[in-house]
């Protein structure tokens, strides 16, 4: 074996060694980036590589022996009798029917137009204290000129059906011939929020008195700024939602009170570490065990 060949081998080994070291560095950097999306604490919404569902195969549809179900209709609100006088094929008079067949359908009424109601509210002056008292009606809101049913309608369109305000505006115009501005719809939603404030406070008080509380938080952006949606659920299934621009323990202290120390069921977020009685969320614990098993097998 001559010296040139040995020098060539040494050069090749050095190049491969350097390339191996570089690849190891790149691999480590990529593993650190990947762990942001594939670790026990990654929420399902951020997991990039989810296992594909297994297709069970077989024919589509109900399995053999399955008994079909027919919708059972309620008592009809209206019964319409339908007759024919002439045969549509030859125009011959039909006379008396040979039988009557029933067909029941269900439908929704036509879109309702806006109903305008005027309330003439009597105003009194108390002879005892001098206060002016305006009469109240259960269907007449104290603020604004939108009725309770319309406020509820707009709220359902916005939050239950997740409609953006401009789409809600278009729907009200097309379906009900009601022309409202974007600001008018937004003001209506704010009034509904103000009306719910007492119930919101009552839910918060019930959660504070609960035997234990589940707490979790998830982040999202509002106009480019990071916010967190906090969910507090009591043992009695009361649920309180808090949306703030903080993920710190101050949110827990403000919501649950300074003297609250548990018990809570939470994940491993450090914002809960000051609490005295903590039960780790089983879903997070199982994910951590699965991750440890996978890491152990890869060693």
CA separation for the pair 266, 272 (Å, rounded):
8
Q: What pLDDT, on the 0 to 100 scale, is given for residue 205? A: 95
**Three-state DSSP class for residue 231:** strand
Average pLDDT over residues 39-45: 63
Average pLDDT over residues 21-48: 74
Q: What pLDDT, on the 0 to 100 scale, is given for residue 43? A: 63
User: What whole-number percentage of the chain has pLDDT above 70?
Assistant: 90
Among candidate residues 229, 232, 198, 194, the one with its CA nearest the CA of residue 214 = 232
CA separation for the pair 216, 269 (Å, rounded):
9
Q: What pLDDT, on the 0 to 100 scale, is given for residue 47? A: 61
pTM for the whole structure: 0.64
The token pair at 246 is 């903080």
Helix 182-195 vs helix 197-208: crossing angle, to nearest 10: 40
Torsion angle of C-alpha atoms 134, 137, 140, 144, degrees rounded to 10: 20
Q: What is each CA distance from 89 to 92, 94, 95, in whole angstroms?
A: 8, 11, 15
What integer best gives the mean pLDDT of the chain?
Answer: 87
Q: What pLDDT, on the 0 to 100 scale, is given for residue 51? A: 63
Average pLDDT over residues 272-281: 90
Among candidate residues 120, 141, 274, 175, the one with its CA nearest the CA of residue 266 = 274
Strands 264-266 and 132-134: unpaired
Interval 187-236: pLDDT, tens: 999 999 998 999 999 999 999 999 999 999 999 998 899 999 999 999 99
What's the DSSP call for residue 44?
Answer: G
- DSSP per position, 98-162: S----------PPPPPPP-------EEE-TTT--EEE---TTS-SSSS--HHHHHHHHIIIIIS-
Average pLDDT over residues 96-110: 91
Interval 56-68: pLDDT, tens: 666 777 777 777 6
């Amino acid at each position: 074996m001559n010296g040139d060949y040995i020098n060539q081998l040494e050069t090749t080994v050095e190049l491969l060694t350097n390339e191996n070291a570089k690849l190891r560095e790149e691999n480590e950097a990529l593993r650190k980036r990947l762990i942001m999306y594939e670790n026990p604490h990654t929420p399902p919404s951020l997991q990039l590589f989810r296992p594909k569902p297994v297709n069970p195969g077989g024919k589509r549809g109900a399995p053999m022996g399955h008994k079909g179900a027919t919708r059972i209709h309620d008592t009809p609100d209206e019964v319409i009798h339908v007759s024919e006088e002439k045969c549509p094929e030859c125009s011959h008079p039909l006379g008396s029917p040979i039988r009557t067949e029933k067909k029941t359908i269900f439908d929704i009424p036509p879109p309702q137009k806006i109903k305008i109601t005027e309330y003439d509210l009597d105003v009194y002056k108390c002879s005892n204290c001098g206060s002016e008292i305006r009469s109240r009606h259960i269907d007449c809101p104290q603020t604004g000129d939108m009725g309770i049913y319309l406020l509820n309608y707009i709220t359902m369109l916005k939050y239950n059906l997740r409609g953006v305000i401009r789409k809600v505006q278009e729907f009200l115009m097309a379906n009900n011939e009601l022309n409202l501005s974007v600001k008018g719809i937004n003001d209506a939603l704010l009034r509904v929020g103000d009306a719910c404030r007492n119930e919101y406070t009552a839910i918060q008080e019930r959660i504070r008195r609960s035997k234990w509380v589940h707490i979790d938080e998830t982040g999202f952006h509002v106009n480019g700024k990071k916010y967190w949606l906090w969910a507090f659920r009591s043992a009695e299934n009361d649920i309180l939602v808090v949306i703030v621009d903080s993920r710190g323990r101050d949110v827990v202290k403000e919501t649950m009170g300074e003297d609250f120390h548990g018990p809570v069921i939470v994940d491993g977020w450090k914002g809960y570490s000051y609490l005295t009685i903590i039960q780790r969320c089983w879903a997070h614990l199982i994910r951590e065990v699965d991750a440890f098993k996978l890491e152990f097998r890869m060693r």
